[in-house]
Structure 1
Amino acid sequence: MGYVTWWAVVSSGCAPVLLIGGSTTATVLEGPTYNPVRQTISVLAAGNPSGYWTLTVMLVALGACHLATAFGLRAAALAGRLALGAGGLSAMVLALFPAPKSGGSFSHGSVVAVGFTLLALWPVLASYRQPPAPWGLRPVPSLAATGMMVLGAAWFLVELQMHGAAGVAERVVTIVQSLWPVVVVVSCLRHGRRA
């Protein structure tokens, strides 16, 4: 049956490329009025129509990548696969609730919170305590990944309250969340070759 499908390899590799490429493209389209150090990625969807559509397409594609990875990551525990897939769905739903030009939005914030939580918890939920599991699905690396994501979220909230480098903190957290599936998939591929 295999540890991971070929489409999960492709989708996990595409996720960070889409996240970084989409947000960078939207930043360029937004122009000098946008400050990527202080402003969040969500602000890009509230600006000009080009930034909105770029970010919307990126969120839908990113969500589809997480869904495909969850479906094809056979070695992971079911709870983790469901959390990763639901995190992907949250990214797609987020495209329906863009951030307003000014102020906050309960619906946007709620979807972000749910999506972040699911993507932060999936490493722990996907792990196995019994050896031999692929490296990325063992408890210690999985706990470390979740811990990094939670610490990153705390950093983001502090920066948001202090009107500091919230954009940087958010990008670090989202990149870590999009890279962990790649780490797990690669560890499954290596484990499969050894077995």
Structure 2
Amino acid sequence: MHDHGRVEAIARTTDHEAAGVARAGAAWWTPISSAAAPLLLIGGWVAAGSRQPPTYSPVRQSISVLSGDAATDQWVMTTALIAVGLCHLLTAAGLYGIRPAARIVLAASGLAGIAMAMIPQPEVGSIPAHVALAVLGAITLALWPAFVGSRAHRWPSLLSVRMCTIATLVFVVMTVWLLIEAQGGANFGLSERICTSIESSWPFLVVLAVRRAAV
């Protein structure tokens, strides 16, 4: 009986600590910054795409084309990409209840996006640094859920190791599809838009789950 009481006390302590982390783990601005990231990204390519000539194909051509030197009003997509990167940085800074490694990975994705936007693709060909930063941003965002997963008692199921592993596997498959299409595929633009819009939405779900744990 004494041991059973001790186990219950430990469980209550673990629950209390987990709830405490959740209450302190999501700054007030994180729902805004995390929700703004996918909205800015999608809004950016829609607005920038509407300014391009009829020859531009959002299914075939990448988002980088919209911020490249050959684009019409390239500042539209460039500004959107920088804003998305800043949103990821703000979310990483405000989610201080998750692992430091997870915050670093999300911040790295944001920094990669900002740096990529500041190195536009030329009118002809490509810049290796831009391509490398784009790949880095895609990989870090795809792997981010793996760093978020927690075994904490009563932690939201979305943040469990199992769910985060599933999300990571799905994102990795999507990223592989994107990288394959990048090798001259006819659906490169489509794959990039699907992957980036879904993966950039995941931080918002994490923020909601962390805040829900505090209720």
TM-score (norm. length: structure 1) = 0.92
Of 79, 99, 107, the match for 1:77: 99
**Is 1:63 the counterpart of 2:71 in the alignment?**
no
Point out where structure 1 has 5 or more consecutive residues left out of the alignment. none
Aligned position for 1:152? 174
Aligned position for 1:88? 110
Shift of 1:158: 2.4
Contact 2:119–2:129 (Cα < 8 Å) also in 1: yes
Contact 2:148–2:159 (Cα < 8 Å) also in 1: yes
Point out where structure 2 has 5 or more consecutive residues left out of the alignment. 1-22
Aligned position for 1:40? 62
Of 35, 39, 42, the match for 1:13: 35
Aligned counterparts of 1:49 and 1:39: Cα–Cα separation in 2: 14
Matches within 5 A, 1:86-125: 86-125=108-147
Aligned counterparts of 2:181 and 2:30: Cα–Cα separation in 1: 34
Contact 1:152–1:173 (Cα < 8 Å) also in 2: yes
Length, aligned pairs only: 192
Aligned counterparts of 2:159 and 2:105: Cα–Cα separation in 1: 14
**Deviation string for 1:74-121 (max 9, x for gaps)?**
231110011101111111111121122232321111111111122122
Contact 1:76–1:137 (Cα < 8 Å) also in 2: no
Cα RMSD (Å) of the superposition? 1.5
SS of aligned partner of 1:19: helix
Contact 1:120–1:146 (Cα < 8 Å) also in 2: yes
**Deviation string for 1:157-177 (max 9, x for gaps)?**
222335211111111110112
Give % identity: 38
Residue 112 of structure 1 aligns with an amino acid whose one-letter code is A
Aligned position for 1:185? 207
Relative distance call for 1:76 and 1:136 in structure 2 (3 A) is: farther
Aligned counterparts of 1:171 and 1:181: Cα–Cα separation in 2: 17
Residue 129 of structure 1 aligns with an amino acid whose one-letter code is R
Relative distance call for 1:49 and 1:35 in structure 2 (3 A) is: closer
Aligned counterparts of 2:99 and 2:81: Cα–Cα separation in 1: 25
Residue 142 of structure 2 aligns with an amino acid whose one-letter code is A
**Is 1:129 the counterpart of 2:151 in the alignment?**
yes
TM-score (norm. length: structure 2) = 0.84
Residue 58 of structure 1 aligns with an amino acid whose one-letter code is A
User: Which structure has the greater CA radius of gyration?
Assistant: 2
